[in-house]
Amino acid sequence: MDFRRGGGRKQLAEEESELSPKTSRRSTPPEAAHKEADHLDAGAAGQAEAGDIQYEAPRGRPAVPQEVEGIDAELVRLHTQRHPPTTITQDTSENKKEQTMDVQERWEEIQSAIEMENTKPPIEDGHEPVSGNSGAETATEVDMVTAAETGTASEAAPADEVMYETDNGAAIQEVSGYVETPPPDNPVIEIVHGADDRVYVGNTTAYPFRTICHLEITAPNGKRYIGSGAFIGPRVVLTAGHCVYLHGDGGWARSVRVIPGRRGNIMPYGEATGTRYWSVKGWVNNRDSDYDYAVIVLPTALGSRVGWMGLANLSFFSLLGLNVNNSGYPGDKTYGTQWWNSNNILAVTGRRLYYRIDTMGGQSGSPVWRYKDGQRHIVGIHTTGASVFNGATRVNDDVFKNLVSWKNL
């Protein structure tokens, strides 16, 4: 492995200063940063070539919670206090004193997982779309569906769509989100739960929390699950593949009840039930967690009421060390309540993101997003936890293309 220190410093420094104006800027000579970035861009394009995983610890970088609207500022302060910056480094000779056994073990497990992923060949047609609906016992392979075929694009509130090539720091591909509906005048309730790092979202009618949905999933065999999702278009909710195609329960979900911005028994925007889904062969046919993503297509344009976040396919070094947000509906809390958390991405591969964000069952499918320049873009779909690191399906080139083609279904 080649652990290059200093990679992506320029971009990290820019984000740091943007997120926390009071924080002293990291002084990185622009030229040096540029050279590093040029070098590292090749790694980004190659995305997780075996033996070429790189990591730079954001040492000294404060764990700045990015997403504060809808959450009481005091809770954010407490969260930051309880959730200090992650200090991980590979330079053990210089920084041995900084390391704890916990962090070292965490790092070793991350390395092990990444090595495992890098030796695994990609599934050739893993991102090929597969659709299904309630009652479908097996996956049906069909061609890509366009808005014209569905005839529902006219319902869609158009989002500005931007796709562009870039070098450092910016998105490789990006679509913007949509915010229009003013939030209803609901009371804001904020509480802190013990020493839990997750923060209760008291105002789920604030953007972007209102775009995040509680999912009540009914499997083909009648079994019930809870999951999370987020609108990416007027009728389309992004989630994990295992929230709509349940390998242990007979396949495509019988139905998924989607409740955006739910807060306990309060459903400020109502609900909709989805029975039509899109995922990809890599999940449906191969059960590979690298391809664990899907969308739910709703019969109504509920997304036009709550809006949605954009999508971004960020480069390897834009993602590495990036402070991201996650908010979803864990099953261990009061039913139907939304919980937010934030931390840095610890490791990036071609198809996965790894971070140290506390999550629990029920948060599968919740968005992992970046907040920058006032814009919010989803960069991952949370899927797995209960480990020393939690993980998301990365919005890479293939995922991005599929999501863009699905978002206006």
Window contacting another protein (CB under 8 A); options: 2-10, 126-134, 184-192, 246-254: 246-254
Active-site annotation holds for 327? no
Q: Sign of dihedral through CA atoms 372, 375, 376, 380?
A: negative
Which of 56, 292 has the CB closer to another protein?
Answer: 292
Query: Distance between CA 306 and CA 230 in Å, rounded?
Result: 10
Considering the candidates 304, 318, 342, 364, report the single residue annotated as catalytic: 364
Window contacting another protein (CB under 8 A); options: 3-11, 28-36, 258-266, 359-367: 359-367
| Among 363, 377, 106, residue whose Cα is nearest residue 392 | 363
Which of 243, 296 has the CB closer to another protein?
Answer: 243
Active-site annotation holds for 364? yes
Could you say whether residue 131 binds another protein (CB under 8 A)?
no
Phi-psi region at 73: left, alpha or beta (left = phi > 0; alpha = psi -120 to 50)? alpha
Site for another protein in 155-174 (CB under 8 A): none
| Among 232, 203, 217, residue whose Cα is nearest residue 399 | 232
Could you say whether residue 363 binds another protein (CB under 8 A)?
yes
The three-class DSSP label of residue 35 is: helix
Which of 313, 393 has the CB closer to another protein?
Answer: 393
Could you say whether residue 287 binds another protein (CB under 8 A)?
yes
Could you say whether residue 246 binds another protein (CB under 8 A)?
yes
Residue by residue, DSSP assigns 80-102 as: HHHSPPP---S-HHHHGGG--HH
CB 359 within 8 A of CB 341: yes
| Binder among 248, 264, 270, 299 for another protein (CB under 8 A) | 248
Q: Tally Cβ neighbours within 10 Å of residue 155.
A: 16
Could you say whether residue 264 binds another protein (CB under 8 A)?
no
Which of 63, 110 has the CB closer to another protein?
Answer: 110
| Binder among 242, 254, 262, 376 for another protein (CB under 8 A) | 242
The three-class DSSP label of residue 21 is: coil
Q: Output b/e per residue, 205-241; b: 16+ Cβ within 10 A.
A: bbbbbbbbbbbbbbbbeeeebbbbbbbbbbbbbbbbb
Considering the candidates 214, 242, 377, 382, report the single residue annotated as catalytic: 242
| Binder among 62, 122, 126, 385 for another protein (CB under 8 A) | 385
| Binder among 55, 107, 207, 225 for another protein (CB under 8 A) | 225
Strand partners, 239: 294
Query: Distance between CA 122 and CA 314 in Å, rounded?
Result: 20
DSSP assignment, residue 263? Answer: B
| Binder among 131, 279, 359, 408 for another protein (CB under 8 A) | 359
Residue by residue, DSSP assigns 176-222 as: --B--SPPP-PPP-----TT-S-EE-S-TTSTTGGGEEEEEEE-TTS
Report in angstroms how near the CB of residue 294 gets to another protein at its nearest: 12
Site for another protein in 74-113 (CB under 8 A): 109
Which of 215, 322 has the CB closer to another protein?
Answer: 215
CB 57 within 8 A of CB 85: no
Which of 352, 376 has the CB closer to another protein?
Answer: 352
Report in angstroms how near the CB of residue 237 gets to another protein at its nearest: 15
Where along the sequence are the contacts to another protein (CB under 8 A)? 109, 217, 221, 223, 225-227, 240, 242-243, 246-251, 287, 289, 292, 330-332, 359-364, 382-387
Q: Which residues are marked as active site?
A: 242, 364
